[in-house]
Structure 1
Amino acid sequence: MELAYTLFLIILYLLIAPLALVFVWAVYYDLSTSEIPPGIDQPLKLRILHWLLIISASLGKILESLCFCSQIHFIRFIQEGKKLGEDPKLWIQDLMFEDIPVRVYQPREPKSERRKGVVYFHGGGWMFGSINSYDHVCRYIAKESDSVVVSVGYNLAPEQKYPSQFYECLAATAHFLKRADDYGVDPARIIVGGDSVGGNFTASVCQALVSRTDLAKPLAQILIYPGLQAIDFNLPSYQQNRAVPILYREHVICSALRYLNKDLSVLDSVVRGCHVPTDIKMRFGKCINSENIPQEFKARGFEPSQAASFVDDVYEVVKQALEATFSPLMAEDAVLSQLPKACIVTCEYDVLRDDGILYKKRLEDNGVPVTWYHIEDGFHGVINFFNGLLSFPSGKKGVDSIVTFIRSS
């Protein structure tokens, strides 16, 4: 009996000790690298959320070194979640649009007229996120806005390389525009939207649809804290929020390089701006510039960056990131002027804040109406946490602003 008890204690120790070390490492890494400004929504809860993300990444790295699975696949497994149960207010179907997985949310209550439709592209830095992990968000939007929501499950990087995800999102959107009647949706009342890289896809898909004469044009676009450019990573928000969880500046660039299937060794050169040729600086320097950021957004600190010397080898590695399908802020005025009205959601404590602000200005300069919701205490990814145990009031504020825009469109 004593032997069995001793063995039990040994096994328990072997299981608990590594987990305890990982937890200690997560807390240490967070406290030593992150910066949580005092105005952010529920800072302690955000730290706990960040610890959980660091723990999952650390465990994934350990399992990868032990040849059990890759770190990326482990993180995806942890974040995946599952499809929620039946909803008394929604018909929910998993379908394929042009070989692309989608989940369609249709309100059950009959309606005399055709509904609005929403095509939604999830975030996740090109490498993470899924239909399941955004199930709660899409259900809420469908019910509260009384719209048919199509959640697009595009394939992820690094398995899928640029620009495949963009083309999958474009194909799924075109399919829904063509077949809207099948879902009780008016094809002239379809909104395209997404968060983070989903906002990037939203902008690039809407730009691509400008030239499509065979499809109805989207009614509107919703860009939720989108990443929209790869020219300047020293804008005020990139400086102020470079280490604010849950998205660091380096994470933005690393994710982009992985989607492009490029070497991460150029990261520091990209931060300095060595990848941008002189002709591109001249063409887009006026619109992608800190001078276009309102002064109140520089109050927390901003140092204009010194002009970096162009390095051709770095440009050759990342030049695809300077295409409009990757950096929609670089689209021509002739395209932007034909885009539908927009809703842009930004968060004060988000490294990508200024991308949204700059796109707002470019759209307005080209005559496109913009509704702007700025979440003053929000951080990147916050709408995912609008309900549940790790919920933030700023997340609820963000998702409700999206619903308000859809209902009023």
Structure 2
Amino acid sequence: MEILLAIFLCVLTGIVAIAFYYEHPKAEVPHGISEHQKLYVLHYFINFGFGLATLLDKVGIMSEIHFLRVVMATIPPLKDTRLHIKDLRFERVKVRIYQLKTSNSNQRRGILYFHGGVGQFGSIQAYERMCRYLCRKTNSVVVCVGYRLAPEHPFPAQFEDCLTAAIHFLRTAQDHGVDPSRIVICGDSSGGTLTAAVAQALVNRRDLPKLRAQILIYPFLQCVDFNLPSYQQNERVPILLKRRTLVLGLKYVNMDLGIMEEVFKGCHVSEDRRLKYQKWVGPDYIPHEFKTRGYKPSPTPLPSKELCELVESMFDPVFSPLLAEDSVIAQLPETFILTCEFDVLRDDGLLYKKRLEDHGVKVTWCHLQEGFHGTLFLALFGRVIGFRSGAKGLEKIVNFLRLM
């Protein structure tokens, strides 16, 4: 009887979760992705997970964010006896350090990794495979930063923890067998946002060694224009749908989702801000070849004074690094930027690439023609879940790091 009840409850949960699944935006997987059927199946399971998270949240069993954290934390790491792994704290910040047991050099490269998850989920455990991979392939000391998460720790606590960890590592690099002049910071998605923000915060620090480089993997970099070509073309492309991008972003900075449609239109940007940012953000700075899949210019909306004041924190370079002043951009270290063709955030990377190059910063750019948001993370799980484009991106990053 108990077994039948358990089966019934599981089936009921599944049915209700599917109902919530259908409340979420539907996907459109482009045929430009050769493994599009695999991506569609993957999207179904991810959207089902979001549906189940919504269900559990609504019935009071577990919050949506905590469910997503639990799911990501259960990702099993690869076993690897070649690595020495230890958990430490850099000041108040939890970190996990990876290094090859066979390496005795005191002049190794150091990689500080900031994981993705829109500041709300993701963890050291979830990114175990990524950090082990980078350690093995580049013989680097890799430090994964377990920064505090929202909403328990409101934005910008995540940035503050990453900056604290970076400063500590730069000061104590030699204690970990790392050459202080060979430290690279790296992150994917919102971790790429944190990477860019930390690099900017360090440019005027004369009491610390300079960063050797920064690696930005499909980063979110601006909140001015959500109608750039990549947002229009990839609105429904998994995994990061356009609507989901803004939902998670607004939750990150603890703002009401009721403002979403007005933000999509651009009513959150005052006339003064629009005039200032138009030299950095806009479709005119996106090369023509990235508009061939279709792009329709959006009319300039009338700003809402109340909304402009409400979202002011979103224009802080900590949240939108693309909006940093020229004097900061000009001092940034050598940069690797990875973009994916089928990613709403593609044009953020292209715009940042242009700004850096305009100021003489050396940029290595990797564009994955069949890539989508999250493709590198998935590549670490083998052929069943992984995608060829992700494996290509990881190889390019490793090659870049070996030159540092």
Same fold (TM over 0.5): yes
Does 2:253 correspond to 1:251?
A: no
2:92 to 91, 99, 104: 99
Listed as ranges, the gaps of 5+ residues in structure 2 are: none
Cα deviation code 1:171-229 (max 9, x no counterpart): 00111001101110001100011000111111110010011111101000000000000
TM-score by length of 1: 0.94
Question: Contact 2:105/2:177 (CA < 8 Å) preserved in 1?
Answer: no
Does 2:386 correspond to 1:391?
A: yes
Question: Contact 1:345/1:372 (CA < 8 Å) preserved in 2?
Answer: yes
Does 2:178 correspond to 1:219?
A: no
Listed as ranges, the gaps of 5+ residues in structure 1 are: none
Does 2:234 correspond to 1:228?
A: no
Q: Work out the percentage of aligned pairs sharing the same amino acid.
A: 46
TM-score by length of 2: 0.95
Aligned pairs for 1:3-402 (under 5 A) are 9=4, 11-20=6-15, 22-23=17-18, 26=21, 33-81=26-74, 84=77, 87-388=80-381, 389-402=384-397
Deviation for aligned residue 1:387: 3.0
Deviation larger for 206-215 or 16-25: 16-25
SS in 1 for 2:367: strand
Deviation for aligned residue 1:293: 0.4
Amino acid at match of 1:297: F
Amino acid at match of 1:277: S
Distance 1:184 1:53, change over 3 A: same
Cα deviation code 1:119-143 (max 9, x no counterpart): 0101112211111111001100111
Deviation larger for 179-188 or 57-66: 57-66
Amino acid at match of 1:329: L
Question: Contact 2:130/2:380 (CA < 8 Å) preserved in 1?
Answer: no
Could you tell me how far apart the structure 1 residues matched to 2:309 and 2:175 are? 46
Could you tell me how far apart the structure 1 residues matched to 2:385 and 2:260 are? 32
Which structure has the bigger radius of gyration? 1
Could you tell me how far apart the structure 1 residues matched to 2:152 and 2:9 are? 35
Could you tell me how far apart the structure 1 residues matched to 2:303 and 2:232 are? 21
Count of matched residue pairs: 402
Could you tell me how far apart the structure 2 residues matched to 1:110 and 1:328 are? 36
Question: Contact 2:20/2:55 (CA < 8 Å) preserved in 1?
Answer: no
Could you tell me how far apart the structure 1 residues matched to 2:354 and 2:315 are? 20
Deviation larger for 353-362 or 64-73: 64-73
Question: Contact 1:128/1:156 (CA < 8 Å) preserved in 2?
Answer: yes
Deviation for aligned residue 1:110: 2.6
Question: Contact 1:206/1:221 (CA < 8 Å) preserved in 2?
Answer: yes
Question: Contact 1:191/1:218 (CA < 8 Å) preserved in 2?
Answer: yes
Question: Contact 2:233/2:295 (CA < 8 Å) preserved in 1?
Answer: yes
Cα deviation code 1:60-109 (max 9, x no counterpart): 22222332211211121112125636522211111111111111011111
Amino acid at match of 1:287: W
